[in-house]
């Protein structure tokens, strides 16, 4: 699931970690801010359609690690349902804020977050210069 969805996520620059289970485990499952209860998976007839995960910070903020939906299920509200489930989790566990970090080259997630009421904050620019060597 992670490999099939993260491969479609735009990242600045050309290099990004290969979407393997080991990378998923290192960056999602084995981080101190991730709780297995805060990983949400959408299924249809027992098959995975999409997922989202939260990093839970001690200051009452939940950060969406990634929301991904398999290509054949996109445009059907799966990502919306996953995000709403994550909001219910945050509210139910005393969190007061949800944050997301998205690439500007990903219009579908930007539009979804806007529909959900996220407000755009000033961001960092990623710069890259190739040095011949």
122 assigned to some structural domain: no
> Which residue has 């009421």 as its token pair?
117
Residue 133 domain-assigned? Answer: no
The CATH number given to whatever domain includes residue 35 is 3.40.630.30
7, pLDDT greater than 60: no
In a domain, 34, yes or no: yes
Range of the domain at 103: 2-115
Q: Say what the pLDDT of residue 14 is.
A: 52
Q: Would you say 102 and 71 are in contact if contact means Cβ atoms under 8 Å apart?
A: no
**Is the CB of residue 105 less than 8 Å from the CB of residue 11?**
no
67 found inside a domain: yes
User: CA-CA distances (angstroms) from residue 41 to 20, 46, 66, 127?
Assistant: 18, 11, 12, 34
Model-wide pTM > 0.85:
no
Does residue 92 sit within a domain?
yes
Q: For the chain, what is the mean pLDDT?
A: 86
Residue 120, in any domain of the structure: no
The mean pLDDT value for 98-114 works out to: 93
Residue 23 placed within a domain: yes
Which one has a higher pLDDT value, 124 or 120?
Answer: 120
In 24-117, beta strands by DSSP E: 34-44, 47-56, 61-69, 97-100
Asked, for residue 16, whether it belongs to a domain, the answer is yes
Domain count, the chain: 1
Gap between the Cα atoms of 114 and 1, Å rounded? 25
pLDDT at 79: 97
Q: At what angle do helices 107-115 and 78-92 cross, to 10 degrees?
A: 50
């Amino acid at each position: 699931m992670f490999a099939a969805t993260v491969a479609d996520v735009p990242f600045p620059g050309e290099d990004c970690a290969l979407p393997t289970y080991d990378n998923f485990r290192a960056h999602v499952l084995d981080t101190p801010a991730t709780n297995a209860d805060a990983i949400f998976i959408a299924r249809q007839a027992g098959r995975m359609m999409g997922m989202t995960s939260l990093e839970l910070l001690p200051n009452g903020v939940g950060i969406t690690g990634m929301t991904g939906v398999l290509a054949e299920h996109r445009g059907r509200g799966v990502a919306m349902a996953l995000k709403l489930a994550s909001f219910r989790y945050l509210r139910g566990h005393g969190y007061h804020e949800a944050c997301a970090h998205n690439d500007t080259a990903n219009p579908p997630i930007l539009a979804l977050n806007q529909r959900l009421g996220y407000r755009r904050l000033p961001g960092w620019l990623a710069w890259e210069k190739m040095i011949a060597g």
